[in-house]
């Protein structure tokens, strides 16, 4: 069971302002049926530090994930998660900008069950879509990666023994694990090496199937969402709000047939 012995992180960095995604009320989301996400070539060297301060990020197209509740029609809830993609000869870079009133994450051990906490995920299939890779980071920067197989009876088999060598850094605008105050959000800057999933020659025009997920535990239990245990108090339950891409799809995000297309530009 997680304890509270870890020091709480206090970072008030204004991360969702300049250099990150704009406030959702200031920028309308793209069309609901957008299933193609373009990764731009980097212009400069990248520092994986959780700050989207590189000029390359300014040129990356912002895409917004959509809320998915798994039981009813997908609807556009408040846009809370923005994804941007970049690439160079060595890495695929992913930035997640997440608005969040309560940021929480306790797990610190690599490949632990970070998907039960505030987290973001990239899944990507270089060849067969039923055999794909998963790269996940929780809000305190603990990483999980796995190679997954999704069979035809809708069962997901994950092998976290896989190590793709990816790295990620998180910057929090608020206080981690402190429900007494109200947070603003968090940003993940992720770099996944092409060698981690056997892509030897990335080039413009290359396409992959994939998806992007965000699990958000809200400030207070809501009326919708998935009921899950929280790692900070397994005896209690909380609702988690899951967002996915492509935004118009209703199926569970790990269903490979529903993956969108990621294209290198």
Residues that bind Ca ion (CB under 5 A): 47, 49, 51, 100, 102, 118, 216-217
Residue closer to Ca ion by CB (options 36, 47) is: 47
- Tokens encoding 232: 């900070």
**Residue 178 · residue 8 · CB < 8 Å:** yes
Return the sign of the alpha-carbon dihedral for residues 212, 62, 258, 204: negative
Tokens 């309308």 -> residue:
28
In whole angstroms, the minimum distance from the beta carbon of 243 to Ca ion comes to 12
CB of 6 to Ca ion, least distance (A): 17
40 versus 51: smaller Cβ distance to Ca ion: 51
Q: What six digits make up the tokens of 162?
A: 């896989």
Q: Can you spell out the DSSP letters for 12-39?
A: ---TTSTTSPPPTTTSPPPPTT--EEEE
Measured from the CB of residue 101, what is the shortest distance to Ca ion in angstroms?
A: 7
The whole-angstrom separation of Cα 144 and Cα 239 is 22
Token pair 């947070």: residue: 183
* Shorter beta-carbon distance to Ca ion: residue 253 or 260: 253
Instruction: Please report how close the Cβ of residue 7 comes to Ca ion at its closest, in angstroms.
Output: 19
Phi, psi of 88 (to 5 degrees): -140, -165
| DSSP summary character for residue 259 | -
Q: Which is nearer to Ca ion, 168 or 264 (CB)?
A: 168
Q: From the CB of 132, what's the least distance to Ca ion, in Å?
A: 26
Q: How many CA atoms lie within 13 A of 168 on its CB side?
A: 31
Taking the least distance from each CB to Ca ion, the nearer of 47 and 237 is: 47
């Amino acid at each position: 069971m997680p304890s509270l012995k870890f020091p709480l992180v206090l970072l008030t960095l204004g991360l969702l302002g300049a250099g990150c995604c704009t406030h959702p009320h200031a920028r309308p989301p793209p069309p609901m049926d957008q299933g193609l996400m373009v990764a731009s070539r980097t212009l400069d060297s990248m520092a994986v530090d959780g700050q989207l301060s590189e000029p390359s990020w300014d040129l990356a197209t912002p895409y917004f994930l959509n809320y998915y509740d798994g039981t009813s029609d997908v609807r556009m809830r408040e846009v809370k998660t923005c994804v941007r993609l970049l690439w160079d000869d060595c890495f695929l870079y992913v930035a997640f900008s997440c608005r969040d009133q309560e940021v929480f994450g306790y797990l610190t051990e690599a490949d632990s069950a970070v998907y039960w906490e505030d987290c973001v995920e990239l899944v990507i299939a270089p060849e067969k879509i039923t055999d794909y890779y998963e790269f996940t980071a929780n809000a305190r920067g603990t990483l999980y990666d796995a190679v997954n197989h999704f069979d035809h009876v809708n069962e997901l088999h994950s092998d976290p023994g896989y190590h793709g060598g990816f790295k990620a850094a998180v910057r929090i605008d608020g206080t981690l694990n402190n429900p007494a105050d109200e947070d603003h959000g968090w940003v993940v800057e992720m770099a996944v090496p092409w060698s981690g999933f056997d892509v030897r020659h990335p080039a413009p025009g290359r396409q992959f199937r994939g998806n992007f997920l965000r699990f958000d535990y809200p400030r207070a239990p809501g009326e919708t969402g998935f009921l899950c245990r929280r790692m900070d108090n397994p005896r209690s339950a909380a609702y988690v709000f899951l967002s996915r891409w492509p935004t118009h799809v209703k199926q569970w995000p790990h269903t490979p047939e529903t993956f969108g297309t990621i294209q290198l530009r």
